[in-house]
Every structure is written in C-alpha cells, then in structure tokens.
Amino acid sequence: HHDGSFFVHYYETRLLIAPRSASAILKALLESLPLKTETAQTQRAELESILIALEHLPPRHELDPEQVKQRRREKEIIKRRLAALVGTHHEVKLALEQVVHEFNGVKGEPRSFDRLEELLADQAYRLSFWRVAADEINYRRFFDVNELAAIRVEEAKVFTAVHRLVFDLLRAGIVTGLRIDHIDGLLDPARYLEHLCRVCQRAQKGAAQPQPLQCYVVVEKILSRDERLRPDWAAQGTTGYEFLNLLNGLLVESQSQTAFRQIWRRLAGVNTDFEDVAYEGKKLILHAAMSGELHVLARKLERLAEQHRYSRDFTLNSLQEALGEVIACFPVYRSYMRFGKNEAQPDINAEDRRSIQLAVRRAQLRNPSLSQTIFAFIRSLLLFEEPDGLAAEQQKERRKFVLRFQQLTGPVTAKGVEDTAFYRYYPLASLCEVGGHPARFGTSIAAFHEANQQRLKNWPHTLLATSTHDTKRGEDVRARLNVLSEIPARWSKAVQQWQRLNRKLKPVVDDAPVPDAREEYLLYQTLIGSLPFHLEDETALQAYVQRMQDYLVKALREAKLHSSWLNPNEEYEQAVRDFIARILSANTPFLAALREFHPLIARAGAFNSLAQTLLKITVPGVPDFYQGTELWDLSLVDPDNRQPVDYATRQRLFAEVGEFTEEWLRHPADGKIKLFTTSRALAFRRDHGVLFERGEYLPLPSTGARAHHVVSFARRYAGQTVIVVAARFFAALLAESDLPIGAPVWGDTRVQTPADLSGCYRDAFTGTQVCINNSTEGLPLAAVGERLPLALLERV
C-alpha cells in the first residue's frame, strides 16, 4: 500500500486494487484497532467514515458523466484521508501492515489465501496464467504481446492525448515529418491519416520555421505482391519495404530459381511450396497465439448469423473454423473498407473485393468438408450483401464486425508469415524479408525500371529502405546471399561437403541428430552472409559464435517446429548451441572449408552493396539509411541489428575518405569503399536536389556480352542530365579478373543512349570523363567502368 492505495505485486508487475474492494482490507483493519483510548476511538471513527464513503462511491461500471466525475473526485479524497490516517498514527500503520500480511497468506497453508482470492475476484481484471492469454484474452493487443494493449485512437479524445507531444514538437520545429508504424492496426487508416494531416498542418503553421512539404507522413505499410498503396491516403508514401524487395530482387539471378528449389528439396528435405507454408503459419498463429481474438470475432459472427433465418442454424464452432480459414487464406495483410459518418454507405474498393473473394474461394478449396453455405455467408457479410429486412442497428453491427475483421488479418499475416513461415522456408534466405516473397525469385531490369517510373509519378517522396530496425537480415548479408543465386552448383556442392564434415558433430536429442537438415541449411546461409571479413583472434571468433548461437535459437523459436517462445525446448536449443560451437571451433575442417568458400561471396557481395547503395540514392524517392549502415551491415534480425553504433570509427574513417583509390576495392574489409560511395552519392544528390526530386526517369538498355550485368538510367530536369550505371552479378565478372572493372571484363558491353543524351560526362566518384559523340555507339562500359563497377555521370 502507498498513499492511500493498495496494490498487488507479481514480480515487476504492479496492479491497482479498486477503491471499493479495498473495504475488505479496511474492515479487517477496523476490527484490529483497540477500543479503549480516546485516540483509538478517533481513529476508528475516521476509518468508519472512510468505509461509509467507499460504500457510497459510484461503481466502476457507471456510465453517467456526472457519476463518473463524482467517482474520480471522491476516490482521490478518500485516498488522501486514508493516507493521512496511516501517516499520522503509527499504531494504525502497524495494524494495517499486519492486516496486509495476513491477506497475503502463508505458503503451505492454502486456506490462508482465501481472503486474497476474494479480493482479487472483486477487481475489474482477472489474474490468470500468462500461457492462457492466447485463449482467454478479451482485449486487442500489439500482435500477441499481452503487455501492449491496443488503444482506440479513432476516438477524438484518445487521438488528442496520444499525439499531444508529437504536435508540440511539430509546433516547435523540432520534428518535420512523421513515420507511422503498424498502420494496419488502426480501425480506419485513411480516416486517421486525414485527421493527422489536418492537425499536423495546423501545428506546422505555427512552427518556428516553415516546412518545404506540409505534413510529411510515411506509413509502415507492408504491400503484398502486386498490391499498391491506396492513392487516397494522406501520406507521401511508405517506409520503403516494397523498394527493398524490388532492389534486392534485382541482384538475384532469376534463372537459378529451379536449381534452388531442387537444392532446397534435396539438402533441406522440404517438399512443401511456400504458399502452403504461409497458410500453415497463419493457422498456427490463429490457434496458438491469437485464438482469443479469433473467438471474440467468431462470437460476434454468431450473433450476426442469428439475425436471419438463412444463417440462424450455423453453430459457433463451424463459424469459427470457417472464419479462421478465410483469415488464413487472406492474400494481403488487410482490406480497407470504410463507411460514411452515418455508417450507412460502405466504401468497397475493387481491390478489397478481389481480396475477399479470393480468400473465401481459397478457403473453400482447402476445406471441402466444411459447409459451403457458411463460407457464402461470410463472403456476403464482408461484401455487405445484406438480406432484406435488417434493422438499422443490425446493419450497424455488421459494419462493426467488418472493421474488427480487418484489424485481425494484418497481425495474423505478420506473425504467421514474417515470424513463422520465413523461418521455415528459405531456399535463398535473402528473399525472406519483410514484405518479400521467397518464391518470387528475382526482379527483371524492365520491372525495376517500370516500378521506378510509377513511383516518380505517384509517390515521389516515399522512403527507399535497404535496412530497418525490423529487417530479417542486414542489407549486406542479403547482398552476399544474393551471390549464391549466381552459383547454384558450387553452392550445392559446398553445402553437401559441409554436411559430411559436420555429420558426426551433431548432438542427439530424442534419437534424432540436431539440428535437422532444414535448420542446418539455414545455419550455413547465415554463416556465409554474416561472417566478418576477418576474425582477428579467438576472442573475436567466440563473440561471433555467440551471435550465431543466439540467432539460431531465435530462428528455432520463430519457426515453432522444435521450440517456441511459449514453450522453449531448452534441451534442443542447447544441442543447437553445442553444434555451432563445435563446427566453429578453431582449426576444424569445416571452418577451413568455410573460409575457403567465403572470399568470393564476400567480395561479390561487397560490390552488390555498392550497386544497391548507388541505386537507392539515385532512383525516384527519398533514400533512407538505418543507423550504422554507412559501413558494412552484417547484422541479423533484432536484437542483433539494434546494437550501439560505433560513430567514432565512422567519423574517423569519413575523415580519411578523400579521393577514390583502387586500394579500397582490393581490400574492402574496413568499409571505406561503401562509406565513400554513400557520401559521394548523397553529396551529389544534395547538390542536385530538384533534379532527383522531380527529374524524368529514362531507362537505358545495354548491349554486348555483359548486357545482362548492367542496370542504367538517366535523370533529366531543366537542362541538367545525369546517367547512372550500376553492375550486378559479380561472381561471373570476378571469375575472369581480380576486380570487375576495365576492358577485359566488360569487352563490347555498352549502355545505349538516345541522341539527346550526347555530350561529355564526368563521373562524380572517380572524376573520369567520357563522351557520347554518336548515339548509336552509346557509353562503353570499358571506359565507364574502368576504375569502378558503377558510375554517377553528370553532363558537363
């Protein structure tokens, strides 16, 4: 107890005891106080008065505004009176402490806890074992995190309270834009953004300095496959995951898709397609982590079914099963149907209609034994195909159901796909990224250009990300893994060799070797992607071993096959830790083989990183850099990617990065070449801001033996012209030369340019000058890529 309030403590959790229910404690206190002295009688009189006040306190479920106001006022007065009584009279304090001690019970004496149980039963909450939350919880959460209850930001008072600090910062000019995370968790994202921008603009009018863009807002919206950001949203774009996957795919050799599927089936022993893995992952989340949310929604669905004779006989169990199947089959994170102010006119987007129809059709195909009429009922409900004769209140309840349905599909998809399926299916792990699709193998150059042109037209100020706090792998881990797509045969041979070398090092749990083939395949990809350029000593090696052990344990729990967050299999996890420690011990045959295979991947991956850095900075959009990625980013999923950044080292290296030197290409371990590429390109973009913000985007094709390895385009605006050239697929380029530069590598390869791009150009990186005198000749890569496998050419 403290300051007139009582609490229940469970480790670090402190829960308030409702004022009226505290009467049980105070009545016990009253009985324990003496009767004889005048002081004691005064104390008892005050305590009796407090008890009477508690009895007359309006109940907590009272909705009348005056009664609510009275309750809030009176309970504070009562708390002050009790605090004064206990604080003034030492004997009362001692007696209260004894009563509290008795309420807490005595271990080993079950009956001594009866009063505590009665007290807890009188609270607005019910204490229960945390493992039952998935089944019993009756409030919306941040995904499946019990401690993070969702709030109804669609309520005006809640919106104002939540955003008060943000708008104060906007008015002060300290904040100039907003990133809205988890936008899909809102009841009505479009309406929220409209409200946000109205208030934001009012706040910015009073800012210390005017802003170039009124209400710059980007949303963390994960777009599935061919999904597009809704054009009516009051936002400048997304936080950039769709660009991350687009650009990452550009560095994946799509011709190797079949080969990698065969490698996955043969070496990992998995024959299931990703669509089935994702479906199973969402089903698992619905039943193991979010069954409470599903049950609450199913109960609402049951009440709606009772509105009409055609659906009245559907049972709760059948409705819940069919509803879960539709959610598991939903093709996107969520739909965005909304209503007018009177909730009478639903707004059904054609895209939403397709998603709902597809989800129901897939659910029906997967469940032929379930009543098809139930699926038809759910489809008609979600599409507002209502039977005649419904009252206005019944129609309103149907709309509320649809809004709540939309808030559930998103977290189920996020947890079922990103945090389950991505840890079960990874033929090429670099494709298992937020918003990605592991079965979609690569991005064509034509698709890359088309997406950039559409972005310039529709979302020119959207963010362009390559790493964030939520990415599954650092951008340079993905850049390395993408190299494997160029050499499937060599990769397959290496994995088979490593499996043979490590077979006898596997611990045995429940008569099975650990890890299994699938997990072992993930480990080898993770090692190839994250192994530092140099491990200076045993201390560095052991630190790396610890990182790999921690990552694989997290991967096991996310996959939920041999362990999980709810039920950790410590024996299995320790066996995996032991296996990693054994194979990465100094001087093991495997470590020697890994170090022999790794240099090509590390070198080609470094060049991939330079290409993606240049492209991110120069295509339409706003380049976004996650902390620390100025140097090589070989981090894995959180918490590995949320470590403190060594800014002192970056500042020192930045001071040393002046004019380009080939030494940085030959010895890239210190990251100077990436820091140089990033800083030079960003400085060039800053000096040509309008060109990159508004300039035309003109794709430029390539010809010659290495045309497949070249991505190029021009940006033009008001007489300014820039040509960007980036190479890709470096494993083949490095097979014939130490560095992917010069005539021996590029031969007759050229970037084709139209006649109006003729002229002389200077490279912002190397200062090299090249001229286009005849539009039929274009830009020879032998000259453009003489010193670097990328170029940022400004017409001079």
Q: Which residues, 6 or more positions from 121, have their beta carbon under 8 angstroms from its beta carbon?
A: none
Q: Are 465 and 624 in contact (CB under 8 A)?
A: yes
CATH fold for domain 688-796: Immunoglobulin-like (2.60.40)
Report CA torsion sign: 296, 298, 299, 303. positive
For the chain, the C-alpha Rg in angstroms (whole number) is 32
Instruction: Look at the block and give the residue holding tokens 């190479």.
Output: 727
Q: Determine the Cα–Cα distance for residues 584 and 594; give it in Å rounded to an integer.
A: 10
**Residue 210 confidence (pLDDT) above 90:** no
- In the chain, where the domains are located: 7-127, 141-239, 273-423, 446-686, 688-796
Distance CA 6, CA 16 (A): 6
What is the phi/psi pair of residue 720, to 5°?
-95, 140
Question: Does the pLDDT of residue 224 top 80, yes or no?
Answer: yes
Evaluate whether 784 touches 754 at the Cβ level (below 8 Å): no
Contacting residues for 350 by C-beta, under 8 A, at least 6 apart = none
Q: In whole angstroms, what is the distance from residue 110 CA to residue 404 CA?
A: 42
pTM of the shown model: 0.91
202 pLDDT band (50/70/90 cuts)?
confident
Residue 636 φ/ψ, nearest 5 degrees: -115, -165
List Cα–Cα distances, 679 to 504, 610, 617, 685, in angstroms.
48, 12, 10, 10
Contact predicate 165/175, CB 8 Å: no
Q: What are phi and psi of 441, to 5 degrees?
A: -100, 90
CA separation, residue 40 to residues 43, 48, 53, 572, 705 (Å): 5, 12, 20, 64, 101
pLDDT tens profile 51-63? 999 999 999 888 8
d(CA 536, CA 652): 21
Query: Which residues make Cβ contacts (< 8 Å) with residue 223, sequence separation at least 6?
Result: 229, 238, 241, 242, 435
pLDDT digits (tens, 9 = 90+) for 246-302: 999 999 999 999 999 999 999 999 999 999 999 999 999 999 999 999 999 999 999
Question: Which DSSP helix (H) or strand (E) runs through 433?
Answer: none
DSSP lists the bridge partners of residue 14 as: 9
Report the top-level CATH class of 446-686. mainly alpha
As a whole number, the mean pLDDT across the chain is: 94
Q: How far is CA 213 from the centre of its chain?
A: 27
Amino acid 341: pLDDT: 62
DSSP result, 258-305: HHHHHHIIIII-----HHHHHHHHHHHHHHHTSHHHHHHHHHHHHHHH
Interatomic CA distance for residues 664 and 794, integer angstroms: 23
Distance of CA 656 to the CA centre of its chain: 36
In the predicted structure, residue 213 carries a pLDDT above the cut 60? no
pLDDT digits (tens, 9 = 90+) for 104-135: 999 999 999 999 999 999 999 988 888 887 78
Q: Which two tokens stand for residue 289?
A: 């982590």
Both tokens assigned to 170: 């906007």
What pLDDT is stored for residue 129 in this prediction? 86
